[in-house]
């Protein structure tokens, strides 16, 4: 493979990535990535994790980045392989997750011939990447890889897509260009004292204030600082609707998320004279509905304390200090009552209570889908301390891969994927990698055999559910998915629960067993 | 939904599509497509078929177009939904399949607010579409839909992607703009008499000639005309390596495909003074390998009789006439011998012979993956008349959806998906739609528990297989996929065959049973 002596371009790339602190590569490679695959043999610092479908790899890199706070690498095959991973890169972009996508391309001299697998990778990558670049020679490998990694780690975090023609992977790199040149990770920008002072003055005026917390404001220190501000300024605290990560439970403030539907979100913000953005973006309706404004906060109310890439925790602490807010002391929160759980037929509400009660300390909960997601958030302020991940960009098929990536990032923590059945199907192959890597992920499938959100939206659009087309396109019951079969197919032990008692027993068994497990919750 | 009286934009779109002859919509819709879903209730001429993942929908539309010779509609949700379908649209583009992709977008007035699901759909769509357009108003719906449909049907066939903001789907259309204005499908361009004459003169000179047949040249009339030419001009006939559709067996010429690896393809063409392209593109190496040219035909040898969008059948017949080639008569071909089939452990070779022997007249065989694909092509010249579909663009995950679409296009024909295990995983959800629609698709999984092609390519790149990373990234045996479980999970009856005898019995049972079925072939 290396025909000129010394290191190949592929080795230089993998070494540069490793020198930059990347430890995992979620990969679904093809022919044009084979030198990189061989280089992963030569550089054991980067652990390869195989996905059977690219959306598993990109979603796992997103979940990994959210928990590890640093990028994983993905390895994807040409334009179509990248496209298969694009939906979860869209979510990662909205989560501000740092990810380094490495995409092989045809040999540079072969590209002009428009071979069958040739396509415009840049056009496919640009909408879901914060940085896109193409390696121009083997000697360019180290520099461009470092640039991509820096772009990925520039706060608040970006998807950087590095396109690497296969000839430059194979060629020998001149010795002077073969060294890795890691750069320090860029730091969040500090928020100016003037911004803090102006806000402190405005809040002292006793105006009705809502804080919308996002990004790092949803860490424990961020929430503690926000809690101090709320206590002295009488402000209301909300989490952004779909946080990338949110620390919850264990005595943290029981933050509600800003509601999903615009009518309720507008109502929640209606009385505010000031809506302070602390790591969150200005709230916008998820979809546009006729007669309802796109912007949810009252006109003129929005003040930015910190953008997602700023040092929002420090800014909140500075603001709390400027307001003279005392530091609060917190006793140990009461553990939830696991002894008196609902026994009857499962409902989304009882699922939320049971999962809340049995959640181990330090768990990670990857939530996708509304059916059980909202009831879980309602209940889980009372759970032990845990980290919640949500679907930030609305591209479905994010929950299982993100759970997988989180488990790779934190093998000592229990991961729960609380997952709707319809959305699980987009990246169902994630189950296989969970089994292969023996990750501690318990997948709870909310099995209601329909696209529930679409039936709601049809009603909102004024359509009845009576028509055959709209019934056919929103129902999943003909045939019903057999979740035991699917889990078995991918090597994940599974059982089915129809009552609260069955769910609690199944969940306890799964927690005790360790390793991957799937529980179908029949709703 | 319709707040102005009269028809909505969505109804006008679906009526325009139906008036243009579109009968099927492969759909995975979301919130921004709900008015179109409701409109499908109002216009029963377009049959909705639900896929659990967008790649199933686009691959099915490709398979449908190849067999029906006309476009299906797909219905996809915003940028991420489109991206999930892009890989199979890449294949469809290389197959020249006419497809009309309809993608909902946010309300036009909501787009500037960059809501979570907003993305640059045009950038995602352009690399895999021959035409991309956005509807500019409800009154623009009929005209733009007709334009998109015309673009899709312009020979040789294109993917046309029509982006439709949801407000224009909902709004009432002014009556003067509400009518469908179907245009006749554009016809293939005739090949000029001068081209035919020039080639006839060149071939009469007794030069060593190879014909490379593609597109419509692989229909029965195309092959019969090519056979006449070959008989008088001593020419060799090849099929392009990855035809969209090829009629085979039942006494048609036993066309070899131009070999996949460039060394062998170059050898096959080496002696030719003239390489005539008849509906095929100039042959190019699939991947670029150091020291091997990208162009496979000898320099200066290539002559174009007909491009893929030209009337290649007429051109071949004209050329045969110009050469004075007699019309050949063909007796009925002998039926293959189904009585003496290999009984022992399965190999790719015995799979090819057994499938060939048992293939019913008029079957459609969707082939994806090299393991059993090449041996089947070697054997199947002796099969009864059938149509083969191959993966034209190399984006894997095409075989099962294409089989599904073919079965929807031709419910009276038996469809076989001859499918490698690794590539089946990218769009495994196709099994569910096969069960839901009770299609006659028998899926034969070549289960060798590895990415065999990648292990070959690693060796070509000079890497050994010994490393842990390259082993991990090319093996599928830890855990082995349980195909019985997966098929059961999606509602498809399944069995497993380890010997030739078991495969023959299982295939006979499946053919007799009708409906979907999966057979794991343990290799």
Residue A511 forms contact with B (CB below 8 Å): no
How high is the pLDDT of residue B458?
A: 85
How high is the pLDDT of residue B218?
A: 98
- pLDDT bin (cut points 50, 70, 90) of residue B334 is confident
Percent share of chain B, pLDDT over 70: 98
Residue A190 forms contact with B (CB below 8 Å): no
Mean pLDDT of B159-181: 94
Q: Given a cut of 50, is residue A158 above it in pLDDT? A: yes
Residue indicated by tokens 């989180």: A406
pLDDT tens digits for B363-406? 999 999 988 999 999 999 999 999 999 999 999 999 999 999 99
Q: Given a cut of 80, is residue A13 above it in pLDDT? A: yes
The pTM of the whole model exceeds 0.95:
yes
Do the beta carbons of residue A221 and residue A318 sit within 8 Å?
no
- Average pLDDT over chain B reads 95
How high is the pLDDT of residue B464?
A: 62
Interface A–B counts its CB contacts (< 8 A) at 339
Do the beta carbons of residue B285 and residue A115 sit within 8 Å?
yes
- pLDDT bin (cut points 50, 70, 90) of residue B5 is low
- pLDDT bin (cut points 50, 70, 90) of residue B63 is very high
- pLDDT bin (cut points 50, 70, 90) of residue A464 is low
Q: Given a cut of 80, is residue A32 above it in pLDDT? A: yes
Which chain A residues have a beta carbon less than 8 Å from that of B478? 436
Mean pLDDT of A268-277: 96
A90 with B242: Cβ contact below 8 A: no
Which chain A residues have a beta carbon less than 8 Å from that of B460? 34
Q: Give A39 to chain B, closest Cα distance, Å.
A: 9
- Average pLDDT over chain A reads 95
A40 with B473: Cβ contact below 8 A: yes
A167 with B288: Cβ contact below 8 A: yes
Return the SS3 of B300. Answer: coil
Return the SS3 of A437. Answer: coil
The first and second tokens of residue A247, run together, are 């620390």
- pLDDT bin (cut points 50, 70, 90) of residue B332 is confident
Which stretch of DSSP H or E encloses residue B447? strand B441-447
How high is the pLDDT of residue B339?
A: 82
Residue B132 forms contact with A (CB below 8 Å): no
Q: Select the residue of A90, A110, A487 nearest B80 (Cβ to Cβ).
A: A90
The distance from CA A48 to its chain's CA centroid, rounded to whole angstroms, is 20
Do the beta carbons of residue A285 and residue B115 sit within 8 Å?
yes
Residues 6+ apart with CB under 8 A from B102: B13, B17, B33, B36, B73, B74, B75, B76, B162, B164
The phi-psi region of residue A42 (left if phi > 0; otherwise alpha if psi is between -120 and 50; otherwise beta) is: alpha
Q: What is the ipTM of this complex?
A: 0.97
| A292 → chain B, closest CA residue | B110
Q: What backbone phi and psi angles, to 5 degrees, belong to A102?
A: -110, 125
Query: Using CA atoms, how far apart are residues A474 and A452, in angstroms rounded to an integer?
Result: 7
| B432 → chain A, closest CA residue | A479
Which stretch of DSSP H or E encloses residue A247? strand A246-248
B127 with A126: Cβ contact below 8 A: no
Calculate Rg over the CA atoms of chain B.
24
The first and second tokens of residue B20, run together, are 């243009």
Q: Select the residue of B37, B457, B486 nearest A485 (Cβ to Cβ).
A: B486
Q: Give A506 to chain B, closest Cα distance, Å.
A: 20
Residue indicated by tokens 């200066």: B300
Residue B238 forms contact with A (CB below 8 Å): no
Q: What is the DSSP string of A360-406?
A: PTTEEEEEESHHHHHHHHHHGGGSSSEEEEE-SS--SS-HHHHHHHH
Mean pLDDT of B325-339: 85
pLDDT tens digits for A213-249? 999 999 999 999 999 999 999 999 999 999 999 999 9
Tell me which residues of chain B, numbers 488 to 507, contact chain A at a CB-CB cutoff of 8 Å: 488-491
Q: Given a cut of 60, is residue A3 above it in pLDDT? A: no
Return the SS3 of B256. Answer: strand
Of A168, A86, A93, A173, the closest CA to residue A131 belongs to A93
Q: Select the residue of B40, B124, B397 nearest A124 (Cβ to Cβ).
A: B124
Interface test with A, best of B80, B94, B124 (most A CBs within 10 A): B80
Q: Given a cut of 80, is residue B206 above it in pLDDT? A: no
pLDDT tens digits for B104-130? 999 999 999 999 999 999 999 999 999
pLDDT tens digits for B338-358? 888 999 999 999 999 999 999
Q: Given a cut of 70, is residue B52 above it in pLDDT? A: yes
- pLDDT bin (cut points 50, 70, 90) of residue A188 is very high
Query: Using CA atoms, how far apart are residues A308 and A301, in angstroms rounded to an integer?
Result: 19
With 0-12 CB in 10 A as exposed, 13-18 as middle and 19+ as buried, what is B187? exposed
pLDDT tens digits for A77-121? 999 999 999 999 999 999 999 999 999 999 999 999 999 999 999
The Cβ-side half-sphere exposure at B431, using a 13 Å CA radius, reads: 30
- pLDDT bin (cut points 50, 70, 90) of residue A465 is low
How high is the pLDDT of residue A2?
A: 47
Instruction: For each of the domains in chain A, give its residue range(s) and CATH number, in order of start.
Output: 9-177 (3.40.50.970), 193-322 (3.40.50.1220), 348-522 (3.40.50.970)
B110 with A458: Cβ contact below 8 A: no
Which chain B residues have a beta carbon less than 8 Å from that of A468? 41, 44
Which chain A residues have a beta carbon less than 8 Å from that of B487? 485, 489
Residue A32 forms contact with B (CB below 8 Å): yes
Return the SS3 of B416. Answer: strand
Q: What is the DSSP string of B301-330?
A: -EEEEE-TTB-HHHHHHHHHHHTTPPPP--
How high is the pLDDT of residue A337?
A: 82
Query: Using CA atoms, how far apart are residues A147 and A186, in angstroms rounded to an integer?
Result: 12
Q: How many H-runs (helices) and E-runs (strands) does chain A carry?
A: 20, 18
Residue A438 forms contact with B (CB below 8 Å): no
Q: Give B139 to chain A, closest Cα distance, Å.
A: 18
pLDDT tens digits for A288-337? 999 999 999 999 999 999 999 999 999 999 999 999 999 998 877 888 88
Q: Given a cut of 90, is residue B23 above it in pLDDT? A: yes
Strands (E) across B302-409 are located at 302-306, 363-368, 386-390
Mean pLDDT of A442-462: 89
Which chain B residues have a beta carbon less than 8 Å from that of A53? 397, 425-426
Residue A9 forms contact with B (CB below 8 Å): no
pLDDT tens digits for B254-310? 999 999 999 999 999 999 999 999 999 999 999 999 999 999 999 999 999 999 999
B110 with A287: Cβ contact below 8 A: yes
Do the beta carbons of residue B19 and residue B70 sit within 8 Å?
no
Which stretch of DSSP H or E encloses residue B164? strand B159-165
| B38 → chain A, closest CA residue | A470
Residue B438 forms contact with A (CB below 8 Å): no
């Amino acid at each position: 493979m290396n025909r000129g002596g010394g290191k190949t371009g592929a080795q230089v790339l993998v070494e540069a990535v490793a020198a930059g602190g990347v430890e995992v590569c979620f990969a679904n490679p093809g022919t044009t990535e084979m030198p990189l695959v061989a280089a992963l043999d030569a550089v054991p610092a980067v652990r390869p994790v195989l996905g059977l479908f690219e959306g598993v790899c990109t979603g796992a890199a997103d979940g990994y980045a959210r928990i590890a706070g640093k990028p994983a690498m993905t390895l994807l095959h040409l334009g179509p392989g990248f496209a298969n991973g694009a939906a979860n890169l869209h979510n990662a972009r909205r989560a501000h997750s740092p990810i380094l996508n490495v995409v092989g391309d045809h040999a540079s001299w072969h590209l002009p011939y428009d071979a069958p697998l040739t396509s415009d990778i840049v056009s496919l990558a640009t909408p879901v990447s914060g940085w896109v670049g193409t390696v121009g020679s083997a000697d360019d490998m180290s520099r461009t890889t470092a640039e991509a990694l820096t772009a990925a780690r520039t706060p608040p975090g970006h998807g950087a897509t590095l396109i690497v023609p296969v000839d430059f992977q194979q060629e020998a790199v001149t010795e002077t260009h073969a060294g890795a040149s890691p750069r320090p990770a860029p730091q969040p920008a500090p928020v100016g004292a003037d911004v803090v002072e102006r806000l402190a003055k405005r809040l002292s005026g006793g105006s009705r204030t809502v804080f919308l917390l996002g990004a790092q404001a949803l860490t424990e220190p961020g929430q503690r600082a926000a809690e101090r501000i709320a206590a002295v300024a009488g402000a209301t605290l909300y989490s952004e609707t779909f946080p990338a990560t949110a620390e919850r439970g264990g005595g943290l403030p029981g933050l509600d998320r800003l509601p999903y539907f615009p009518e309720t979100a507008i109502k929640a913000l209606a009385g505010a004279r000031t809506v302070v953005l602390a790591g969150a973006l200005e709230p916008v309706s998820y979809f546009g509905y006729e007669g309802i404004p796109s912007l949810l906060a009252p006109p003129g109310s929005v003040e930015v304390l910190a953008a997602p890439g700023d040092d929002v925790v420090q800014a909140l602490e500075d603001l709390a200090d400027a307001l003279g807010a005392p530091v609060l002391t917190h006793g140990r929160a009461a553990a939830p009552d696991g002894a008196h759980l609902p026994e009857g037929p499962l409902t989304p509400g009882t699922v939320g209570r049971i999962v809340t009660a049995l959640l181990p300390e330090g768990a990670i909960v990857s939530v996708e889908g509304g059916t059980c997601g909202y009831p879980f958030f309602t209940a889980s302020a009372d759970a032990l301390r845990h980290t919640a991940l949500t679907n930030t960009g609305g591209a479905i098929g994010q929950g299982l891969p993100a759970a997988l990536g989180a488990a790779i990032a934190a093998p000592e923590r229990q991961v729960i994927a609380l997952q709707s059945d319809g959305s699980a199907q987009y990246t169902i192959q994630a189950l296989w990698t969970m089994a292969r890597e023996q990750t501690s992920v318990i997948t709870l499938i909310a099995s209601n055999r329909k696209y529930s959100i679409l039936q709601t939206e049809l009603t909102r659009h004024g359509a009845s559910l009576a028509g055959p087309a709209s019934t056919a396109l929103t129902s999943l019951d003909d045939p019903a998915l057999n979740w035991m079969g699917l889990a078995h197919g991918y090597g994940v032990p599974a059982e089915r629960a129809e009552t609260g008692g069955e769910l609690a027993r199944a969940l306890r068994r799964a927690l005790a067993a360790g390793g991957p497990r799937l529980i179908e919750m029949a709703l």
